[in-house]
Structure 1
Amino acid sequence: MLPLYQHEPFTDFSIEENRLAFEKALQLVESELGKEYPLIVGGERITTEEKITSINPANKREVVGIVSKANQNIAEKAIQVADQAFNTWRKVNPEERANILIRAAAMIRRRKHEFSAWLVKEAGKPWKEADADTAEAIDFLEYYGRQMIVLKDGKQINSRVGENNRYIYTPIGVCITISPWNFAFAIMAGTTVAPIVTGNTVLLKPASTTPIVAYKFVEVLEEAGLPKGVVNYIPGSGAEVGDYLVDHPKTSLITFTGSRDVGVRLYERAAKVHLGQEHLKRVIVEMGGKDTVVVDCEADLDLAAQSIVTSAFGFSGQKCSAGSRAVVHEAVYDEVLEKVVALTEALTVGKPTTHDMYMGPVVDQGAFNKIMSYVEIGKEEGRLMTGGQGDDSEGFFIQPTVFADLEPKSRLMQEEIFGPIVAFSKAKNFEDAIDIANNTEYGLTGAVISHNRANIEKAKQDFHVGNLYFNRNCTGAIVGYHPFGGFKMSGTDSKAGGPDYLILHMQAKTISEMY
């Protein structure tokens, strides 16, 4: 019997022993920078002429690693291998599939700082953010392993006299996992092992900016005993490989985390039935957010300011859950704004080489250019309170930025920026604040800071988001504690890290036997 699930604890870097251990892990990773990595198809290592180069966003001259780039021929080979492997993997005892996840989690736990150090280098994550990313990856393996054991016998249904009825869950087939760069370990791992533990096989296409940590993870799964062909590592172009796999008649399930535009396009493509396809494809998408921290006039204003800053600037705002909007009651607007500006100006920004660096770089040149263009838009639409400067001479660094006095329908209040910018808008009353919070096409996360019980209860009903938090920040969902997914154009609200998630990767089957 497995012990009760508890989430992986975060590392306390105020303890010298932990800092020294992390520094040692960074040194280990630095000794491996620049290596080349192959594709993995059916356990076979494949090298191609075309490559993807992973760069440290905090130091553009530092190559983290070079991976072979999959093409359509390799993608076709991978899907045939995965389809063949499915025939045996689907029949493996669910407990054994779960045990592989638990073993892999234990292996990662022993190398926790090493994986976090890869995230520091490849994703530009500060130590605290990298540590949380790795902890969440461990959580996904542990939680989904335990959830599979809960679901392995199906659910109870009624039987009449003389018959035995069962309701069980069976695997679907080949899954295409298209994972993002912002949680390069946690989301990549979670969206890979959920289909695996439920008996499906996987083609993993990680983000091209962060392919190395994904390769390291696949190595762990192999070492934990995952049979060849159950997971296949095929980084490549979305236009060439991604579309090909989404369209393929052997694809049964697609799980994607990324932008709204790509997610909507993928959802549409997956709906088309191709020649030789005998099933409808199932799609799980998480597409982003434009998330709001609402501050009531009856609130702890220091807590409100801290919640806004944490929500907006953790990992440089590069989270779909990031609180990029603060909607504040007019009675406390100026005071909250002043507190947020003071906290923001105290944040440290730079290379994440030490534990006390709060913000590192944004992920690449494209992100840098996009975010800086929104700074200019913000100057036209609102009042720049602090920040607004960027420096891409060595890495892609942008100062945490606060804009005030934005109209609710302005671009800064409506469009997902995915960077360290927070926009303030003034509300006449609490009902007005909730109306503003709901006025985007997204519905992922939100936070309400209030001591007014009636307003809290109102928000529970009227604030239309998948993850709603009270008197705290709107980021940092923990597996098994805060199942994660959003409404509206934020995706299919699939609730990763929750009790319903694995069922999305399976089909329900009713079996009735007469005595």
Structure 2
Amino acid sequence: MVQPYHHEPFTDFSVEKNQLAYQEGLRTVEGYLGRDYDLLIDGEQVTTDEKIVSYNPANKSEIIGRVSKANKELAEKAMQAALEAFKTWRKTKPELRADVLFKAAAILRRRKHEFSALLTKEAGKPWREADADTAEAIDFLEYYARQMLELKNGVPIQSRPNEFNRFEYIPLGVGVIIPPWNFPLAIMAGTTVAAIVAGNTALLKPASNTVIVAAKFVEVLQEAGLPKGVLNYIPGSGSEIGDYLVDHKDTRFISFTGSREVGVRINERAARVNEGQIWLKRVIAEMGGKDTIVVDDEADLELAAQSIVASAFGFSGQKCSACSRAIVVESVYDQVLARVVELTKALQVGDPTNRETFMGPVIDQSAFSKILDYIEIGKSEGRLVAGGTGDQSKGYFIQPTVFADVDPEARIMQEEIFGPVVGFSKAKNYDEALQFANRTEYGLTGAVITRNRDKIQQAREDFHVGNLYFNRGCTGAIVGYQPFGGFNMSGTDSKAGGPDYLLLHLQAKTTSESY
């Protein structure tokens, strides 16, 4: 009997001892800022002259650390190590593979506030956002370990007299893991351990903005007893080693989370059969969103306003699930908009190491410039009613921004901004609001605020997103509770934290024995 899974609780920071624990975590992280980190290939530390330097987005002069940068030769060395390790790891009992995840979860739980503090420093996450990220990483470890124990004996199938049939799952091979910077612990950990607990070996190429979080997590897996070569840590540039590994004849699958553009490009490259390649590569992709909260005229309007603000501006809107479109039925439009503007102007923006901060910086110079460009576009497409300014004198800070009276077809309502910007559109009625909500090439998350049961059912059937929420915000999926993944250009609908996610890293094998 597999032990039941329970979601890791969020920390209550109104309790003084929890505040002190987080501050201790910050002091721990500050004690190792600026350190150098090596690659990990076949269990060996590898140092290179060229480094990826990670900076604090809230204080861009502060170096979080420097990581050795992999090139093609080292990527090939890592591939060979992973291929060799796969020979034994694929035959390692699923119970033993799961045990590595359970032990890693225990280590992470003990160091929870340190990892959260590192997220605050390296990704600019305020306390609550960082704590949720770490909790989700622990959840992925616990959940996928249990899922593997559920799947280890396969699925019962029929047998005839004098015949015994089995339907079992076996691992795929070597996977290339390319996680994002916005959930640099949770998604990086989840995509990595899903691959390895299923019996695959992996090459981890983390996002360059958050390489230190990944390096620290790899250390945790080593401490938990992961054998050499099963996971190889090889940060490097997408154009040099990313393309090389996606194209590689021995790559069996690619697990990617990031932008639509990069995801489409990976899918195209992975579809080619290269010389010596004897399989079609599997691609697991989550590629972003343009997510809508629909507010009906039968809604709790205070709940609607609170949900829009929390979903639009949590972690500076840098979530693929963030609310960047609010579509409100016209009879309550002005009321909801006014309350959102009031709540937005009250948000505290600043240093994420401060417990009171709701919203910290955006991730880097490139994001800062892109978001401000979209704000300029928004000024010509709608009415600026809150925010609209940025300050990069110390870090990359942008004020939470609200545009009113925007056409649903406008650029700021169609293109993923990935920043603290939300546009409001007015709908004549609920039917039109749902039509507007679906009018995007994405299909990741959405929410509907209404008290009307019939309208909830209508949205269940007609609002085309992978994660649909009623009477709450559109962010904050919990592993095992709200399996996460979207439709259309939001990716391959690979429901992370769900019962069929590990199956994407496995292949089914039928054996039939006659007596």
User: What corresponds to 2:328 in structure 1?
Assistant: 328
> Cα distance, 1:356 vs. partner?
1.5
1:398 is matched with which residue? 398
> CA–CA distance in 2 between the matches of 1:500 and 1:151?
10
Letter in 2 for 1:439: R
Structure 2 match to 1:347:
347
Partner in structure 1 of residue 413 of structure 2: 413
User: Distance between the aligned counterparts of 1:198 and 1:453, measured in 2?
Assistant: 41
Q: For the residues of structure 2 that align with 1:279 and 1:4, how far apart are their CA atoms?
A: 36
Residue in 1 aligned with 2:8?
Answer: 8
Q: How does 1:357-436 map to 2 (within 5 A)?
A: 357-436=357-436
The CA distance in 2 between the partners of 1:25 and 1:198, in whole Å, is: 32
Counterpart in 1 of 2:188? 188
Is 2:204–2:231's contact at 8 Å kept on the other side of the alignment? yes
Which amino acid in structure 1 is aligned with residue 184 of structure 2? A
| C-alpha separation in 2, matches of 1:231 and 1:356 | 38
TM-score normalized with structure 1 length = 1.00
Q: Deviations over 1:429-469 (max 9, x none)?
A: 11100000000000000000001111111000000000000
CA apart distance, 1:29: 0.4
Cα drift, residue 286 of structure 1: 0.3
Q: Is 2:305 the partner of 1:305?
A: yes
* Partners of 2:369 and 2:21 in 1: CA distance: 36
The Cα shift of 1:2 comes to: 4.7
The one-letter code of the counterpart of 1:422 is V
**TM-score (normalised: structure 2):** 1.00
SS at match of 2:331: coil
- CA–CA distance in 2 between the matches of 1:352 and 1:494? 32
Task: Show CA shifts across 1:267-305 (max 9, x none).
Answer: 000000011111110000000000000000000000000
State the distance in 1 between where 2:15 and 2:456 align.
38
Q: How does 1:77-96 map to 2 (within 5 A)?
A: 77-96=77-96
- The residue number in structure 2 matching 1:288 is 288
Q: CA deviation at 1:4?
A: 1.2
Instruction: Tell me how far apart the structure 2 counterparts of residues 245 and 15 of structure 1 sit (CA, whole Å).
Output: 47
Counterpart of 2:19 in structure 1 is 19
| Counterpart residue identity of residue 121, structure 1 | K
Over 3 Å counting, the alpha-carbon distance change for 1:2 and 1:111 in structure 2 is farther
CA distance in 2, matches of 1:409, 1:77: 48
- The CA distance in 2 between the partners of 1:96 and 1:282, in whole Å, is 26
Amino acid at match of 2:244: Y
Aligned to 1:509, the other structure's residue is in SS state strand
Is this contact kept in 1: 2:2–2:149, CA < 8 A? no
3-state SS, counterpart of residue 328 of structure 1: strand
The ranges of structure 1 where at least 4 consecutive aligned residues each deviate by more than 4 angstroms after the TM superposition are: none
Using the alignment, how far apart are the partners of 2:362 and 2:8 within structure 1? 26
Distance in 2 (alpha carbons) for counterparts of 1:259 and 1:353: 28
> Pairwise CA RMSD of aligned residues?
0.5
Aligned to 1:276: 276
Map 1:436-475 → 2, pairs under 5 A: 436-475=436-475
* 1:211 alignment counterpart: 211
Match of 1:174 in 2: 174
Task: Describe the SS at the equivalent of 2:209.
Answer: coil
Identity %: 70
1:125 and 1:193 mapped to 2: Cα distance?
23
The residue that corresponds to 1:37 in the other structure is 37
Aligned partners of 2:35 and 2:64 also within 8 Å: yes
**Corresponding residue for 1:109?**
109
Residues in 1 aligned to 2:334 and 2:509: alpha-carbon distance in whole angstroms: 58
For 1:433 and 1:245, locate their aligned partners in 2 and report how far apart those are by CA, in whole Å. 43
The answer (yes or no) to whether the contact 2:121–2:353 under 8 Å persists in 1 is no
Q: Distance in 2 between matches of 1:375 and 1:261?
A: 21
The residue number in structure 2 matching 1:140 is 140
* Structure 1 residue 178 displacement after superposition: 0.3
Which residue is 2:202 aligned to? 202
Contact persistence 2:2–2:150 (CA under 8 A): no
Amino acid at match of 1:218: V
Aligned to 1:225: 225
The separation in 1 between residues aligned to 2:510 and 2:156, in whole angstroms, is 11
- Give the Cα separation in 1 of the matches to 2:319 and 2:168: 36
Preserved contact between residue 137 and residue 187 of structure 2 (Cα < 8 Å)? yes
Alignment partners' CA distance in 1, 2:486 and 2:430 = 22
Offset of 1:3 from its aligned partner?
Answer: 2.8
Question: What CA distance in whole angstroms lies between the structure 2 residues aligned with 1:115 and 1:417?
Answer: 28
Kindly state the Cα deviation for residue 96 of structure 1 after the two structures are TM-superposed: 0.6
Post-superposition offset of 1:349: 0.2
Q: Quick check: 2:260–2:287 contact (8 Å CA) kept in 1?
A: yes
Structure 1 gap ranges (5+): none
Name the aligned partner's letter for residue 212 of structure 1. Answer: I
User: Counterpart of 1:145 in 2: which secondary structure?
Assistant: helix
1: distance between equivalents of 2:243 and 2:272? 12
Shift of 1:353: 1.6
Between the aligned partners of 2:21 and 2:258, the Cα distance in structure 1 is 33
**Secondary structure in 2 matching 1:209:** helix
Shift in Å, 1:355? 1.5
| Cα shift readout 1:159-185 (whole Å, capped 9, x = no counterpart) | 001111000000000000001000000
Equivalent position SS for 1:324: strand
Q: Which amino acid aligns with 2:298?
A: E
Give the distance between the partners of 1:175 and 1:3, measured in 2 at CA: 28
Amino acid in the other structure paired with 1:44: E
Structure 2 residue aligned with 1:264: 264
Please say if residues 3 and 146 of structure 2, whose CA atoms lie closer than 8 Å, have aligned partners that are also in contact: no
Moved more, 352-361 or 68-77: 352-361
Equivalent-residue separation in structure 2 for 1:156 and 1:3 (angstroms)? 21
Q: Is the 8 A contact 2:165 2:510 kept in 1?
A: yes
